[in-house]
Amino acid sequence: MIPGFTAPASLERQAYWSFRSYLLKMGFSIYPREFDCAGSEHPFVDLAAKMGAFYWAFEYKSETDSISRGLEQIRCYSQWFDYVVLVTERILDHGRSGLFWDLKSVGAGIWNYFPGSQKCIHQVNPILQEPEPGNRKHVGIRFRNLEKPRKRKTGSVLIDDGQQHICRFV
């Protein structure tokens, strides 16, 4: 990277979408947009995902993003998700970076993603967090709502939100 050069937003978005694809290939189910942890200090999780019975929060930091802000975000997300991971396009040197040890001490994963090669190095894997039960329940409900179409009543007819267009013909 050239010093002082800021990557255009479109390149950063391509890297983000590339990482989403990587997670899908690993078998994660991904929440379709930023996940809102309403009422928390850092409410928007870049990528929320589910694998098996566990919920994951991924904070993505491009090469030009400040990684130090990620520590506070990760701490916040650990109150909601089973696993939290800081994904960065830069390698954190464990010998020189206090941030590396701070992230590791809160149980966060540290993954290095290289969008050009679509390669991910799991520098440190996350450990299971102990999210607040109400928060984790909220995460679970939001994911379950994606898996099962919500049904609602209109008069005496039960309508599946995924099939609303059929109601015009009934």
Bridge partners (DSSP) listed for residue 88: 61, 112
The per-residue pLDDT for range 152-169, each reduced to its tens digit, is: 555 555 545 544 444 444
The per-residue pLDDT for range 109-119, each reduced to its tens digit, is: 999 999 888 89
Pairing of strands 109-114, 119-124: antiparallel
Q: Give backbone dihedrals phi and psi of 155, rounded to 5 degrees, phi first.
A: 65, -125
The per-residue pLDDT for range 74-129, each reduced to its tens digit, is: 999 999 999 999 999 988 777 777 888 999 999 999 999 998 888 999 999 999 99
Residue 142, both tokens: 């939001």
Residue 17, both tokens: 């979408």
Determine contact, residues 139/55, Cβ cutoff 8 Å.
yes
Pairing of strands 119-124, 151-154: unpaired
Predicted local distance difference test score (pLDDT) of residue 153: 56
What's the CATH class of domain 9-169? alpha beta
Provide the residue ranges of all domains of the chain, joining segments of one domain with +: 9-169
What percent of the chain has a predicted confidence (pLDDT) above 90?
Answer: 54
